Chain A
């Protein structure tokens, strides 16, 4: 360490020991950024709940690198859980966050992460009400891991599930695909490729709200995170026992992402998104849903990319750019760039 640097500027094991330094860390970073009327200093937050049903979910985040063009692990950890709730048609209300921080992690970076969490939570209309901090020895975690747990209020009259896709449904994506995965691949600097790609990471309750305001007849909403849109399509084809037909020309892909995928031999449909939904709804509802989506900040390039059919259940068939039919490969392979 640089001798001029203050040791107080880094997270130490003492910060996780539960004593005075833990309290200082919580005050300096978490209370300072997360403060709201429901944020608890006690063992658990006590919250009012309206009548009706709640949705409840949790998700862990271990992204490497922890900051990337378009966001950082803090923003990601809020978006991930908010979006999981939103996909059920639930308005996100409260979040709890647990941090596992590597000894030696710079406090300034931790503050940046907390600030991004606060900003994203505010945008999503959700309150961070409880948290936990642990410090792990050097090398035991990669910088910082965050787990967020969320509660949301279900919207009446909306019931979505991966098992509800029906022949005749349109398949919609709410924007260009593969940006987050592409951003992370490039940020890892292993390929020595430079391209101007930023993550699509965004909180999507507003996007979902605009859709359900436009139509309550929506069968499936899924966020296309790990594994990308392709993995979601195969999951839904399987759960709903239907076939899916895609038109490759209709799949929105940013030119930079297409360029990188071309160089590395990757399929954009299998790169992760963190701000994109895959939506299945009857074709009759699709125009109203699309119109609503295209007005939103995170879904201006929403598009219908295909349809649900009764044929070939469990399979996703693409009409390729030469007008021939081809199977979209099943998910599951590792992301490996080609070598020849």
Chain B
């Protein structure tokens, strides 16, 4: 029997563009060198699946404002600290005296708020369905305890409408297994009806190769016919995680969301329901609307849609490096530009 790797290496059909929409996939695909075994007809595009990469500059501006003008303690996942805002990153704000604390879970921020009742604590809630439940739990917990000094600055996002918006950029999506573990597979079945193809993939070398091989086989056997397969049944159940979905639905509701480089995608974000408005930092501190500005030379948006490669950006590797990121895609280990920089060209890179 042909192995997944052989199926991929021997593919000689028509051109096939596959978009992975998960930062962990991007990182693993680069780390494993999967691009180097692909035939030229297969193109892998690193889509907008890393929460750091799609965080707009305006959101960082809001966090900086909360820290510097309102004296709030910002609790955040470490990666966000270096994402450039319009004027400065949170790291820059820190050097101007802002209190910015790295946490590994939103619940740590709640603990911190409880222990420091004299401080206003704001958690930066970014991330997809995988991290949303923990943020919801944190808000529920703060509400149950009546913590008046805790709030979140929300920028959580959901994938389904992003797939629709990106439909033209790829022939098939590699769906992120851990997101589908929460949401289940019905969303993907629905996408088939809209002509969007994809398979759910796990994260080991074998799981990623298998998912790619399945995409190849299905595209070749019925060209143009949209498809869906769950190639990660070990973890992803069709119904997802009902408990997590219920929690999310209790605390948050859909809203339009801005994606860095892609603009506003309707109903692709989540915000706190009115019952939890007291924990919404934007309302609590009456933040004005912010129109963020990114460096106009940064091509993250095009990179995320496969319209250009990281190396096509003039700043790549010169003005923009993981130590001095200009765009968000260079910040996180899982960002497309960062992965390209770290694992990129063996001989010339």
Contact = CB atoms under 8 A, between A and B. Distances in A.
Interface of A: 190-192, 265, 311-312, 315, 317-318, 320-327, 329-330, 332-334, 336-340
Interface string B209-241: 100000000000000000000000000000000
B296 interface: no
A192 B103 CA distance: 12
A321 B32 contact: yes
A113 B346 CA distance: 46
A326 B31 contact: yes
Contact of A329 (B49, B130, B209, B343): B343
Contact of B346 (A320, A325, A336, A339): A325
B11 interface: no
Given A320-B205, A325-B346, A265 B32 contact: no
Contact of B33 (A190, A322, A339, A340): A322
Nearest to B52: A339
Interface stretch (B19-27, B63-71, B141-149): B19-27
Interface in B252-266: none
B334 A190 contact: no
Contacts of B322: 332-333
Given A320-B33, A330-B342, 14 more contacts: A311-B347, A321-B32, A322-B32, A323-B5, A326-B31, A326-B36, A327-B346, A327-B349, A332-B322, A333-B322, A337-B104, A338-B333, A339-B127, A339-B131
Contacts of A315: 346
Interface in B325-349: 332-334, 342-347, 349
10 contacts: A192-B105, A265-B333, A265-B334, A312-B346, A322-B5, A324-B33, A324-B36, A327-B342, A338-B334, A340-B178
Contacts of B24: 265, 338, 340
Nearest to B103: A190
A320 B52 CA distance: 27
Given A312-B347, A315-B346, A190 B104 contact: yes
Interface string B107-138: 00000000000000000001110110000000
- B: interface residue count bin: 35 or more
Contacts of B242: none
B34 A324 contact: yes
B323 interface: yes
Contacts of B333: 265, 333, 336, 338
B78 interface: yes
A338 to B, nearest CB: 6
A340 B31 contact: no
Mostly, the A contact residues are: loop
Q: Which 8 A-B pairs have the closest CB atoms?
A: A324-B33, A326-B33, A329-B342, A339-B77, A336-B78, A320-B32, A324-B36, A324-B37
Nearest to A311: B347
Contact of B104 (A191, A311, A326): A191
B79 A326 contact: no
B343 A327 contact: yes
Interface in B1-30: 5, 22-24, 27, 30
A322 B209 contact: yes
Nearest to B349: A327
Interface in B35-57: 36-37, 49-52
A333 B128 CA distance: 24
A322 B38 CA distance: 12
A246 to B, nearest CB: 12
A325 B204 CA distance: 17
Nearest to A321: B205
Contacts of A326: 30-33, 36, 343, 346
B36 A325 contact: yes
Interface in B66-105: 77-79, 104-105
A218 B126 CA distance: 51
Contacts of A318: 33
A264 to B, nearest CB: 9
A318 B342 CA distance: 13
A311 B105 CA distance: 44
A325 B30 CA distance: 10
Contacts of B36: 324-326
A340 B50 contact: yes
Contact of B334 (A324, A330, A332, A340): A340
Nearest to B80: A339
A166 to B, nearest CB: 21
Contacts of A323: 5, 37
A260 to B, nearest CB: 14
Contacts of A338: 23-24, 27, 332-334
Given A191-B104, A321-B205, A325-B33, A340 B346 contact: no
A253 to B, nearest CB: 14
